[in-house]
Structure 1
Amino acid sequence: MELAKEIAKGAEEEGAEVRIKRVRETLPQELQSRIPLDKVEDIPEVTLEDMKWADGFAIGSPTRYGNIAGALKTFLDTTAVLWKDNLLYGKPVTFFTEASTIHGGHETTILTMSTYAYHFGMVIVPVGYGIPELFQTTTGGGPYGATHLGSKEELDEMERKIARFQGKRIAEVAKKLKS
């Protein structure tokens, strides 16, 4: 959730109106106690109306075995009505993730999320190498998007800078595409 907040701060610095939302958890109740849901319980759940409203998106997911969390996939599967009516076509999107280990699937998770964007005809906005901190970090992201090494409790300064850069970038692209 901290990466989402930093991305939001970067977008807000560019003048974007930001809504942080979450997907409904789909894990069985007996397994939910193993994940820190208390950190997101005050954040409203995303709706299809939120997707229509937004000019651009930053979509994130914890890494689950090198893949996106099932709850995000379940939500994205409900967006077929938006796809059918081309309601997300041309909108920019960027991706971010967190994994417990350096080689725990950061890049594969972001690439997995991006497949939805291709089907919608969205404009994928990567971080690229537009920020020098990417050459100085071993945990805070890469050209695909901001990431967090979940075995560390807090985001480090590099992770924060990369996430804010990503937020600014998605806001800049959304503003240009809307005009």
Structure 2
Amino acid sequence: MDPIAVSIIYYSSTGTVHALAQAAAEGAEKAGAQVRLRRVAETAPPEAVDARPEWAQHLADTADIPVARGDDLEWADAVLFGSPTRFGNPAAQLRQFIDTTGPLWFQGKLADKVYSAFTASNTAHGGQESTILALSNTFYHWGGIIVPPGYTDPVQFPSGNPYGTSHVAGDGRPGEVASAAAHHQARRVVTIAAALKAGRSA
């Protein structure tokens, strides 16, 4: 059987969700998957970006990461989406990308794939769970198979979020616990996607 194809599609303004996406990519690769790491296009006006030096710097630092396209969804057996919380919802930049997927959805090309999500917020109760659940609403419409990390590994207890990896950005950059949680979530996604793929080919 061919390796599981995993797309990790994310939006990050200052680097926190980017760090989680990188950790998820590492976890998926270690599980034997072929991985595409993709950022969604920045749609905020330049004056908003330039008003925050860390935002402008992160945009420059990640300019070499390919921008997500519909092909990255069609190609994948499994997709992990990452977004910071925006008032308890995914960032508009990620939603804008998702809102371009109508033609793929209409052709049934987004159905029966494994989907999962991760997030970060500035505070501990900043909408992490609701952001992941909001992304799940899209996966339901696509006919996706949602695979959360649950409490399926000891690392989930200190990380504390069975819905998906999350991090409090106000505490600093993601550390060992958040990275381990992202590794586990990605490995679990690969494992379930591989089982589904094997079952379909049997």
TM-score of the pair, normalised by structure 2:
0.83
Distance 1:40 1:100 in 2: 21
The answer to whether the 8 A contact 1:141-1:162 is kept is no
Structure 2 residue aligned with 1:11 = 28
Distance 1:117 1:141 in 2: 23
Q: CA deviation at 1:108?
A: 0.7
Q: Describe how 1:13-28 pairs up with structure 2 within 5 A.
A: 13-28=30-45
Distance 2:156 2:76 in 1: 28
Q: CA deviation at 1:66?
A: 1.3
Distance 2:160 2:33 in 1: 23
The answer to whether the 8 A contact 1:7-1:166 is kept is yes
Q: Which amino acid aligns with 2:20?
A: L
Q: Describe how 1:90-105 pairs up with structure 2 within 5 A.
A: 90-105=112-127
Structure 1 residue aligned with 2:173 = 154
Which sits farther off after the overlay, 72-81 or 22-31?
Answer: 22-31
Structure 1 residue aligned with 2:8 = none
Gaps of 5+ in 1: none
Q: Describe how 1:7-156 pairs up with structure 2 within 5 A.
A: 7-33=24-50, 34=52, 35=55, 36-135=58-157, 137=158, 140-156=159-175
Q: Which amino acid aligns with 1:2?
A: A
Q: CA RMSD in A?
A: 1.2
Q: CA deviation at 1:84?
A: 0.2
Aligned length: 176
Q: Which amino acid aligns with 1:31?
A: A
Structure whose residues are more often strand by fraction: 2
Gaps of 5+ in 2: 1-17
Q: CA deviation at 1:82?
A: 0.8
**CA pair 41-152 structure 1, distance change in 2 beyond 3 A:** farther
- Considering Cα pairs closer than 8 Å and 6+ residues apart, tell me whether 1 or 2 has the greater RCO: 1
1:178 and 2:197 aligned? yes
Q: Which amino acid aligns with 1:65?
A: F
Q: CA deviation at 1:161?
A: 1.1
Q: CA deviation at 1:133?
A: 2.2
4+ long deviations beyond 3 Å: none
Q: Deviations over 1:60-107 (max 9, x none)?
A: 001112111101111100000011001011100110001111011110
